[in-house]
Structure 1
Amino acid sequence: MTNTPTDLPLPITDTVGAWVPHGRFLRPGRAQGPLADLHFAAKDVFDVAGQPTGAGNPAWLASHPVPTASSPLVDALLDAGATLAGKVLTDELAYSIHGDNIHYGTPLNSAAPDRVTGGSSSGSAAVVAARLVDFALGTDTGGSTRVPASYCGLWGLRSTHGLLSQQGLVPLHPLFDTPTWLAHEARTFERVAAVLLPPSNFAPTRVIEASDAWAEADPAFQPLLARARDTLAQLLGAPVQALQAAAPDGLDAWRQTYVTASAFDGWQTHGAWIDSHTPEFATPIAARWRFASTVKAEDAAAARERAAGIRERVRGWLGEDGVAVLPSAASLAPLREADPLEVDGVRVRTLRITCIAGLAGLPQVSLPLRSASGVPLGISLLGPAGSDRALISLAVRLWQAMPH
């Protein structure tokens, strides 16, 4: 940035328990710019110069220096005029899609107060759903933006892997991490896209139905998936191509491939720090790190090889002109007091869906819809690599054409 504004006290009242204690500051953007009327928050894995980065764990906060440079995405948004309204919580080291944190709490899902926000971009989803900010930076590795977008009735994106800078970002699994954002209005979502994403000339001529992925989602999703498929085909004047098996060897095999490759990647990234600092983790997250520590290099190499084959397969059936309709998650947001075993079952089914884009490195946009009972849920569009900006525009057109 050309200017370095002084941080001010945060004037926003945190009604949803989303801001981290060290994240309550206001950093104004450039006086004039395309986003000058907007406020945003940043998930506490993004570096902001002069402010600590906590990554959802006090031991991380205490053992890492305050960054002297910001994430390029933060700088780009500030330079576009948006005002940064502090940093919001994340599941610990972003290793969850549930939305709770034993150190900082579970933020409120204003769109469904008896249900969780989803994670790991839980604080980002909470502040956007509550309209406390216009949009919020998040990340998506295994579903950490698509899932909270679905649970909270928001616009969300998993960006093409490698398209947006991961500099100044605490990694989880670098092979799969993607920075992104959530918004509650389509227009805001598109305005941010115009600042952060390169143009795309993606012009789909085929609509793809991945039947095995649809089957992983609860009944509440099915009529909306069908409606989205049919409306999109009508908008594009395009045929529907039904894939009975997007994953011929089964989506659970794909999920296991993702879990093995990503866990090893995560342990290579954070294992030494975890061993030396023995941080306290929530029970489910601690179990994931214990598993990650046991993955053998040869098993990880085999998983990466399988992942390369999956990437080639998915990119093959999408081609350059295909767009797939998918559920953004497997279920409605779990109740805040849901049984942990039930939650874990939902997580497994959701990862069978979200791993498709993750393994293929492709963009996926989640549209905010509601079930017949009025609970938020997301339907997604999956597109070719680099189609992110055009895919967002297409998703907005689809959303505007559907009853909601």
Structure 2
Amino acid sequence: MNHPRFAPVPDGIGAFVPHGRFRIAGAAAGPLAGLAFGAKDLFDVAGHVTGAGNPDWLRTHAPATATSPLVTALLNAGATLVGKTLTDEIAYSIHGDNHHYGTPINPAAPGRVPGGSSSGSAAAVAARLCDFALGTDTGGSTRVPASYCGIWGLRTTHGLLSCEAMAPLSPSFDTATWLAHEAGAFARVGEVLLPQTAGRDLRRVLLPLDALEQADPVFQPAVQRVYQALCARMQGRHCRLSGDGPDALERWRRAYVVASAHEAWQTHRDWIERETPRFGPAVQGRWDIARAIDIQAERQARERQQVVRRQVHALLGDDAVAVIPSAASVAPPLDAAPGEVDLVRARTFRITCIAGLCGLPQVSIPLATPAGLPIGVSLLGPAGSDLSLIRLAAEVWRMLQQGAPH
């Protein structure tokens, strides 16, 4: 059995939480031997309190009695846990700030936010404080920080990885995920955590123009490069995710926001009403909205979700991958006005809600703008294609590094 021993890694960027500065050695041998990882402070580690990014959550919860199965699997595979990483409050943000604990430095773009809610995991990986880190993704909480910090990230097929011993936000959208700096480590973690059946024969590539239109123009060259690289080995075509007019993805975003917010409130209502926790203004505003959503609005959102699922499945089938931006913009500046942050959030959700509503896997490939700012380009695949997406993404990245189509 592994025992924590306090030997924290240096952290000058605010990536790790104060109560999570412990270390647990992994098995002496295994496929991940020699790798260090962080765990987002939503994952339970026996004997330690999970803080979920909020001091009142930390105060009102007892130490965990069991460890997340994912943490256990990684330790058994030889990886060493080097601490718990900061999350936006209750994972209810994609910006990367935390009203109580601060904003981790984005090592790839100083002066800009790291993205969230897996902010500490992304920052720690980008700073190479660890080789990889566990995160979560409900509405973009891994894909967005992966894009902002220039690292690899995967939103897994919903339900494929265990969310046991993990603090929830909206369970029907929550996924357990990971981020990594190097493609090799990223793939090695996938081989350990994902079932070996999580692969598909991907033969078609799609470029959804309506998703691309949601992102800033700086994404277009990178998205086109990935698409053209895939067209060298697959049948490709441009498409639109929805034929329901130019505002279709905004309606999809609203359906996601209503359904997920209603579920988040049902999940945390008792704790919030009992403990009256203190939240930062942006997160408090989301809880106020979630509290006011009635059951009829939730039902309508879930009905639209089913329509979206049918439309996207009709396009992807079992053998297609779609190339989309991982976020709508580069990482916003730390001093961006709240209104600007809200606009970026809305545009980003029009992209990230696709995988969320449909429960699909999406891998973010780290690329950059001509000015050197990190951006992510994603491969979105059919349910259960996680391993195939990882392998395909690594192949595409190698092609681009070697000067494949620009």
Query: Distance in 1 between the 2:40 and 2:318 partners?
Result: 32
Displacement, 1:244? 3.1
Query: Distance in 1 between the 2:186 and 2:68 partners?
Result: 20
Query: Distance in 2 between the 1:92 and 1:400 partners?
Result: 36
Q: Determine whether 1:291 maps to 2:296.
A: no
Q: Determine whether 1:58 maps to 2:55.
A: yes
Residue deviations 1:174-210 (CA, integer Å, cap 9, x gap): 1100001000000000000000001234111211011
Displacement, 1:247? 5.7
Letter in 2 for 1:374: G
Letter in 2 for 1:85: V
Displacement, 1:263? 0.6
Query: Distance in 1 between the 2:340 and 2:3 partners?
Result: 47
Structure-2 residue corresponding to 1:327: 325
Give yes or no for contact 1:247–1:254 (8 Å, CA) kept in 2: no
Displacement, 1:10? 2.6
Percent of aligned positions with the same letter in both sequences?
58
Aligned counterpart for 1:377 among listed residues 375, 378, 382 = 375
Give yes or no for contact 1:210–1:243 (8 Å, CA) kept in 2: yes
Q: Determine whether 1:213 maps to 2:203.
A: no
Residue deviations 1:346-399 (CA, integer Å, cap 9, x gap): 000000000001001000000000001000000000000000011100000001
Displacement, 1:9? 1.2
Q: Determine whether 1:134 maps to 2:134.
A: no
Residue deviations 1:154-187 (CA, integer Å, cap 9, x gap): 0000000000001000000111000010000000
Please state whether the residue corresponding to 1:402 is helix, strand or coil.
helix
Q: Determine whether 1:150 maps to 2:147.
A: yes
How many residue pairs end up in the alignment? Answer: 399
Q: Which runs of 5+ in 1 are unaligned?
A: none
Structure-2 residue corresponding to 1:14: 11
Structure-2 residue corresponding to 1:363: 361
Query: Distance in 2 between the 1:148 and 1:70 partners?
Result: 25
Q: Determine whether 1:194 maps to 2:202.
A: no
Letter in 2 for 1:61: L
Over aligned residue pairs, what C-alpha RMSD do you find?
Answer: 1.0
Aligned counterpart for 1:241 among listed residues 230, 237, 241 = 237
Residue deviations 1:315-368 (CA, integer Å, cap 9, x gap): 121001110000000000001111111111000000000000100100000000
Please state whether the residue corresponding to 1:149 is helix, strand or coil.
helix
Q: Determine whether 1:67 maps to 2:61.
A: no
Give yes or no for contact 1:318–1:324 (8 Å, CA) kept in 2: yes
Query: Distance in 2 between the 1:6 and 1:202 partners?
Result: 39
Structure-2 change in CA distance of 1:152 and 1:247 (3 Å)? farther
Query: Distance in 2 between the 1:348 and 1:47 partners?
Result: 31
Please state whether the residue corresponding to 1:84 is helix, strand or coil.
strand
Deviation beyond 6 Å, 4+ runs, structure 1: none
Aligned counterpart for 2:84 among listed residues 87, 91, 100 = 87
Structure-2 residue corresponding to 1:273: 271
Instruction: Tell me which moved more, 88-97 or 240-249.
Output: 240-249
- Counting only pairs closer than 5 Å after superposition, residues 153-172 of structure 1 correspond to structure 2 as 153-172=150-169
Query: Distance in 2 between the 1:201 and 1:117 partners?
Result: 31
Q: Which runs of 5+ in 2 are unaligned?
A: none
Displacement, 1:245? 4.4
Query: Distance in 2 between the 1:64 and 1:135 partners?
Result: 27
Structure-2 change in CA distance of 1:311 and 1:245 (3 Å)? closer
Instruction: Tell me which moved more, 7-16 or 189-198.
Output: 7-16
Residue deviations 1:73-128 (CA, integer Å, cap 9, x gap): 00000110100001011000000000010111100010011111000000000100
Query: Distance in 2 between the 1:247 and 1:182 partners?
Result: 34
Query: Distance in 2 between the 1:11 and 1:56 partners?
Result: 19
Query: Distance in 1 between the 2:199 and 2:146 partners?
Result: 26
Letter in 2 for 1:344: D
Give yes or no for contact 2:118–2:142 (8 Å, CA) kept in 1: yes
Displacement, 1:246? 3.3
Q: Determine whether 1:113 maps to 2:110.
A: yes
Please state whether the residue corresponding to 2:166 is helix, strand or coil.
coil
Query: Distance in 1 between the 2:231 and 2:380 partners?
Result: 14
Structure-2 residue corresponding to 1:393: 391
Give yes or no for contact 2:216–2:328 (8 Å, CA) kept in 1: yes
Aligned counterpart for 1:32 among listed residues 29, 32, 46 = 29
Query: Distance in 2 between the 1:184 and 1:316 partners?
Result: 34
Displacement, 1:277? 0.8
Please state whether the residue corresponding to 2:376 is helix, strand or coil.
strand
Give yes or no for contact 1:10–1:86 (8 Å, CA) kept in 2: no
Letter in 1 for 2:239: L
Letter in 2 for 1:243: C
Structure-2 residue corresponding to 1:306: 304
Give yes or no for contact 2:241–2:311 (8 Å, CA) kept in 1: no
Displacement, 1:17? 0.9
Structure-2 change in CA distance of 1:78 and 1:215 (3 Å)? same
Letter in 2 for 1:397: E
Query: Distance in 2 between the 1:224 and 1:247 partners?
Result: 25
Give yes or no for contact 1:210–1:246 (8 Å, CA) kept in 2: no
Aligned counterpart for 2:352 among listed residues 348, 354, 367 = 354
So what's the TM-score if we normalise by structure 1? Answer: 0.97
Please state whether the residue corresponding to 2:83 is helix, strand or coil.
strand
